Structures are given as C-alpha cells and as structure tokens.
C-alpha cells in the first residue's frame, strides 16, 4: 500500500498512550458520565456502562487503531485507501466530529468561565445548592459571557492544532494526566467524608435491575463510545501518527482502564456530594456545575482548590477538543488538499459558528427547539446515541469482515514481533458479537423487539 511520506509521527514510548488518553479523558468522564448515570438510575447504569466498555469499547478501540496505523491517513482517507466503498465510515466520523464540537466547546467554555468565577471568589459567595443552580442558569442563559469563553476555547484549540501534531498535542497531554488524577482522588475523598455521602455511593454503585430499560442500554453504549472517543475516527486519525513499534494492545488496554478509572472517580466525587447537598441526580447537564462548587465550599482554601480543579478540567477538555479538531483538519488537509493552516482555519470557523448557535440555544434562542430539544441537547443526543453507535457498528463490520486479516494481525502483533493470541478472539468479537449487540440495542430502542 502506498504510504504518504512527510507525515508527522509521535515521539517517545509513552506518547501513544498519552495522546489517546488525552483524547478519551475529558468532559465525557467528568461532566457527561455523572449526568447520564444520574439520569439513568445510577448503579444499574454503571453496570451496563462497564460491560459496554469491556465488550464493545476495547475491541473497537483496537479496530480503529489498526485501521489508522495500517493506512496512515485521516479517517476518510484510511477507509478509502483500504476499500473505497467504505469511505462513508470516515465521512460519518468527520460529520460527527463537527457536531460534537458544536456542543463540547460550549461546555468547555463553561468550565473556563467557572475557573474565572472561582478565582474572583464569586463561587464561594453562594451558600446552597439552590444558589448554585440559579448561578448556573443565569450564566448559561446570558447571551454574551458563555459565548466569549467558548470562542476563547475554540481559539486555544486552533492554536495548538496550527502548531502541528507533534509539539502541540503531545506536550499538552504529558503533564495533565497525573495532575488530574491527583485532584480527582483528593476531591473524591473529600466528598466521601461529607454527611450523607453513603447514600450517594449506594445510588452510584448498587444496581437496581428494574431500572434497566432499552434506553438505559443505548445511553450507556453511547456514553462508552463518547468517553473512549470511538466510532468517529478520532482514534483512526491518532493511530495514523503512532510509531511502528507502538504496542496497540497495551495502548488500548491502558487507555480503556485510565478512562474508566477517571469516570469512576468522577462518580465517587459527584454522587456523595449530590446526596449530601440535596441535589437531584437527574439534574442533567447542569449537575456537575451545581455539585462541584458545593464540594469546595466547605473546604479550607476552597476558592484556590476550585480554581485549580476547573483549570484541570479546562486542560482535560482541551486535549479532547484537539483530537476532535484534528479529525476534521486532517481530513481537509489530506483529502481536500488544502494547506494544513487553511484546513485548520475552516474547521475552526465552522465549529465556532455551530458552537455559537448551540450556546445561544440555551439562552436567547431557547424557543427554537428540534423535537422538543434545544440545539445543544440535539447535538449531544444525535452524536452519542446515533452517529457514534452507527460509526462503531460499521467499523466492526469493516474490520471483522472486509479488512484483510493479515493486515489486522500484522498491526496487532507488530508484524509478528508480539504474541497474537488474542487476535482470533478479537476477530470473533468484531465479526459477530459487537455488531450484533449494537444492532440489537438500536432496534430495541426503535421498539422493534
Ligand atoms: N472522549 C472525549 C471525552 O470524554 C470526548 C470525545 C469524543 C473526544 C469523541 C473525541 C471524540 O471528553
């Protein structure tokens, strides 16, 4: 297969894990996971989620890594070069990446806004959960302020992308992970010591099987894909920059474990505090923004801690927005033959327009709804519950049935240098089990069973 030269490649040994974990770990773990878990029954959701990550997420991550590193191209180009008829899987990814950025940048902007409010002491002035709810609603509903932060976030992402893959992406991921872990552990411990914490942990960990419905399963599946950044070609794009020596199996395992651990820590941080402060676990996208400040409130040096934590969230979100932006930029650059700089500018412009509309859809344009959902909620719903599962489904079929099995084996074993015992099991999962499960969950939600 012809491989384009002059493509960037990631450096040291740790880099593959670092950049892939940088993409996976983000607002999906700390903002989205607690809110969808809270909205879908807590413990029952967690169980289904973990199953989805293990049975569907890990094999798919390996499938995307293999496609990306074998083809050494952007998401569309990768599928196209392996089999032209499958380039639709790549296009689905590029479209999904744009739509995800449309709402992700808005939430990323909120975290930046909250960081500033922590620094100015504004967060510390509220006393009750109700105050925090009002503060959130006022902030989000404001026509200008959230937009400003969102725009700043888009520009920060643009800046990193414009500096290129190696320097920008790799460096920003290197420092962040350990810091984020440390902060999450401190906060989870703090939250577990609050009065009433046990009830929160019970809600989060004890499954009530009566609460598992077709929609719980689809939401858990979508959250697993969202959190691992799979089903939209992000990992295809990133793996195209991996070195030939990178061990895809270990990388995928480490990324999956790290990502799940961060989500569990986020749950252990949020739910005790939710119950302790009398907040509704089903509060939706506002949940974390109402809960987090109340954890910091009673702490010594609360404002410092909260500013620091929101800063870490900003950085975690940034390593994810970079990976989303890169999917689109790499596509425009390599397939549409635009200069990388122009490709990045077009992506930034389109994203900014969509994110502006999504941000306004929670404030001045609240009346404009699609099937009862704001633009913000529709983007979130359509990507996680439709486009990502669909992308995952076709990726399974492609790698399971179409991709030359020698290519798959060569990628997973680095041309026979690593043991290949798991290859047959993986192929079995990708050929039969994973697509069947995703399809069944879909049909079940349409009420076809
Ligand atoms: N996985 C990221 C997060 O958890 C979000 C993301 C989704 C990034 C899809 C890239 C692709 O925040």
H or E segment at 137?
Answer: helix 129-141
Report pLDDT digits (tens) over 56-93.
Answer: 999 999 999 999 999 999 999 999 999 999 999 999 99
Residue 2 lies in a domain: no
Residue 217 lies in a domain: yes
Residue 292 lies in a domain: yes
Residue 3 lies in a domain: no
Average pLDDT over residues 359-369: 91
Residue 1 lies in a domain: no
Share of the chain above pLDDT 90, in %: 80
Say yes or no: CB of residue 324 within 6 Å of ligand 1.
yes
Give the pLDDT confidence score for residue 1 in this predicted structure.
Answer: 44
Give the pLDDT confidence score for residue 368 in this predicted structure.
Answer: 87
**Distance from Cα 22 to the centre of ligand 1, integer Å:** 9
85, two tokens: 């008829």
The residue whose CA is least distant from atom 7 of ligand 1 is 229
The residue whose CA is least distant from atom 2 of ligand 1 is 24
Higher-scoring residue by pLDDT: 11, 334: 334
Q: Is the pLDDT of residue 242 over 90?
A: yes
Residue 310 lies in a domain: yes
Residue 320 lies in a domain: yes
Average pLDDT over residues 4-32: 83
Give the position, in ligand 1's atom list, of the atom nearest the Cα of 23: 8
Give the pLDDT confidence score for residue 174 in this predicted structure.
Answer: 73
Residue 78: C-alpha distances to residues 26, 235, 368 (Å): 25, 11, 38
**Distance from Cα 131 to the centre of ligand 1, integer Å:** 30
On whether the CB atoms of residues 277 and 289 are closer than 8 A, the answer is: no
Residue 135: C-alpha distances to residues 30, 83, 144, 174, 409 (Å): 20, 52, 15, 34, 54
Structural domain boundaries enclosing 352: 13-445
On whether the CB atoms of residues 40 and 207 are closer than 8 A, the answer is: no
The pTM is what?
A: 0.95
Q: Is the pLDDT of residue 10 over 80?
A: no
Residue 306 lies in a domain: yes
Provide the domain count of the chain. 1
CATH of the domain at 60: 1.10.4160.10
């Amino acid at each position: 297969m012809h491989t384009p030269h002059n493509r960037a490649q990631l450096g040291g040994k740790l880099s593959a894990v670092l950049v892939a974990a940088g993409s996976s770990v983000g607002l999906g773990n700390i903002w989205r996971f607690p809110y969808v878990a809270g909205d879908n029954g807590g413990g029952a959701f967690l169980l289904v989620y973990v199953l989805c990550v293990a049975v569907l997420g890990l094999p798919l991550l390996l499938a995307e890594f293999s496609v990306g590193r074998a083809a050494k191209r952007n998401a569309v180009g990768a599928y196209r070069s392996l089999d032209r008829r499958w380039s639709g899987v790549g296009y689905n990814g590029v479209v999904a990446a744009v739509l995800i950025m449309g709402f992700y940048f808005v939430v990323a902007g909120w975290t930046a806004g909250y960081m500033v409010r922590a620094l100015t002491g504004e967060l510390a002035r509220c006393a009750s959960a109700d105050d925090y709810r009002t503060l959130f609603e006022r902030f989000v509903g404001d026509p200008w302020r959230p937009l400003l932060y969102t725009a700043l976030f888009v520009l920060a992402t643009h800046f990193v992308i414009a500096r290129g893959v190696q320097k920008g992406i790799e460096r920003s991921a290197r420092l962040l992970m350990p810091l984020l872990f440390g902060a999450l552990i401190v906060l989870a411990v703090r939250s577990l010591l609050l009065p009433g914490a046990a009830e929160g942990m019970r809600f989060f960990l004890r499954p009530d099987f009566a609460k598992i419905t077709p929609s719980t399963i689809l939401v858990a599946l979508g959250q697993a894909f969202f959190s691992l950044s799979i089903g939209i070609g992000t990992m295809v794009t990133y793996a195209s920059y991996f070195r030939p020596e990178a061990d895809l199996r270990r990388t995928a395992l480490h990324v999956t474990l790290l990502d799940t651990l961060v989500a569990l820590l986020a749950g252990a941080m949020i739910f005790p505090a939710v119950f302790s402060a009398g907040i509704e676990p089903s509060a939706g996208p506002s949940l974390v923004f109402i809960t987090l400040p109340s954890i910091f409130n009673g702490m010594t040096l609360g404002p410092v801690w909260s500013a620091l934590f929101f800063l870490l969230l900003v950085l975690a979100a940034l390593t994810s927005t970079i990976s989303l932006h890169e999917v689109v930029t790499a596509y425009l650059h390599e397939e549409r033959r635009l200069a990388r700089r122009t490709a990045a500018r077009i992506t930034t412009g389109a994203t900014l327009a969509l994110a502006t509309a999504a941000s306004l859809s929670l404030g001045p344009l609240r009346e404009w709804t699609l099937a009862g959902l704001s633009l913000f909620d529709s983007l979130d719903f359509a990507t996680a519950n439709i486009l990502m599962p669909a992308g995952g489904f076709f990726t399974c079929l492609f790698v399971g049935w179409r991709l030359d099995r020698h290519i798959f084996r060569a990628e997973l074993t680095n041309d026979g240098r690593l043991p290949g015992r798991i290859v047959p099991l993986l192929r079995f999962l990708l050929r039969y089990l994973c697509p069947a499960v995703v399809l069944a969950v879909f049909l079940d939600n349409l009420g076809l069973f």
